[in-house]
Structure 1
Amino acid sequence: MQITVETRVGAPITEVWRAYTTPADIIRWNAASDDWHTTQASVDLRPGGAFSSRMEAKDGSMGFDFAGTYTKVLPQELIEYAFGDRKARVEFMQAPEGVTLRVTFDAETTHTEDQQRAGWQAILDNFARHVERSRQAG
C-alpha cells in the first residue's frame, strides 16, 4: 500500500528544492513534533547517492536513522529513493501561489496508515513553515 501526503509552499521552486535537499536545512525542519529533532543529515543527491537523517527524541529516550539511496533525481521536479525494502517519490510542482510538494511512500506494517500519514504530513508542514519563515527573515 502507498500513502500520499502533500503541502503547498509559498516560495519559488528554487528555494523549495534547496531547502528540501540541503543538510543544514533538513536539520531545521525534519521532525514530526516539537519533542523530536534531526541531529544530523547527509545528502549525496544523485542516482545511487546515499542520504541519511538522524532523528532523536529531544529527551534522549530514543532515536533512529532514516537512510536510503536516491534512485532518480530530476532537479526541481522529482526525487525518488529507496529506504530498506520501501520506496518513496517526492514531486515538486509549480503552482500559482508557490510550489506543491507531494510525497508518496510505501507504507510499513508497524504503525497504522493514519499514524504514518499524520507523521509524514507533520514533517511536510514543518518543511513548508521553515521555507516560508526563511523567506520572511531573508
Structure 2
Amino acid sequence: MKITVEATVAAPIETVWRAWTTPAAIMQWNAASDDWHTTAASVDLQVGGAFSSRMEAKDGSMGFDFAGTYTKIVEHELIECQFGDRSLQVEFIAAADGVLVRETFDAEMTHSIEQQREGWQAILNQFASYVAAELGKKA
C-alpha cells in the first residue's frame, strides 16, 4: 500500500530543494516531534548515490537509521529512492503560494497506516516550518 503526505512550503524552489538535500539542513528539520532529533545525515545526490540519517530520541532511549539509494533525480522537481524493499517518491510542485512537497511511500508492516501517515506528515510539517523560519532569518 502507498501512503501520501504533502505540505506547501512558502519559499522559492531553490530554497526548498537545498533544505531537502543538504545534510546540515536535514539535521535541523528531520524529526516528527520535539523529543527526537537527527544526529547525522549524508546525501550523495545522484542516481545510485546513497543517503542516510540517524534519528534518535533526545533522552537517548532509542534511535534508528533511515538509509537508501537514489533511483531518479530531476532537479527541483522529483527525487525517487529505495530504502530496503520500499520506495519513496518526493515531488516538488510549483504552487501559487510556494512549493507543494508531496511524498508517496510504501507502507511498512510494523506500524498502522495512520501512525505512518501522522509521523511522515509531522516531519514534512517540520520541514515547512524550518524553511519558513530560515527565510525569516534572511529577511
TM-score, normalising length: structure 1: 1.00
User: Over the residues paired in the alignment, what is the CA RMSD in angstroms?
Assistant: 0.3
Q: Structure 2 CA distance, aligned partners of 1:48 and 1:124?
A: 24
Paired residues, what number? 138
Please name the residue that 1:76 is paired with. 76
Please name the residue that 2:85 is paired with. 85
- 3-state SS of the aligned residue for 2:101? strand
Structure 2: which amino acid aligns with 1:18? Answer: R
Q: Structure 2 CA distance, aligned partners of 1:71 and 1:43?
A: 13
- Equivalent positions of 1:1-138 (< 5 A) are 1-138=1-138
List, as ranges, runs of 4+ consecutive aligned residues in structure 1 with deviation greater than 6 Å. Answer: none
Identity of aligned residues (%): 67
- How far does the alpha carbon of each residue in 1:55-109 deviate from its partner, in whole angstroms, 9 at most, with x for none? 0000000000000000000000000000000000000000111000000000000
Q: Structure 1 CA distance, aligned partners of 2:119 and 2:48?
A: 27
- How far does the alpha carbon of each residue in 1:28-80 deviate from its partner, in whole angstroms, 9 at most, with x for none? 00000110000000000000000000000000000000000000000000000
- Specify every segment of 5 or more residues in structure 1 that has no aligned partner in the other structure, as ranges: none
- Specify every segment of 5 or more residues in structure 2 that has no aligned partner in the other structure, as ranges: none
- 3-state SS of the aligned residue for 1:59? coil
Q: Structure 1 CA distance, aligned partners of 2:67 and 2:11?
A: 27
Q: Structure 2 CA distance, aligned partners of 1:111 and 1:3?
A: 13
1:123 offset after TM fit, Å? 0.2
1:26 offset after TM fit, Å? 0.1
Structure 1: which amino acid aligns with 2:15? Answer: E
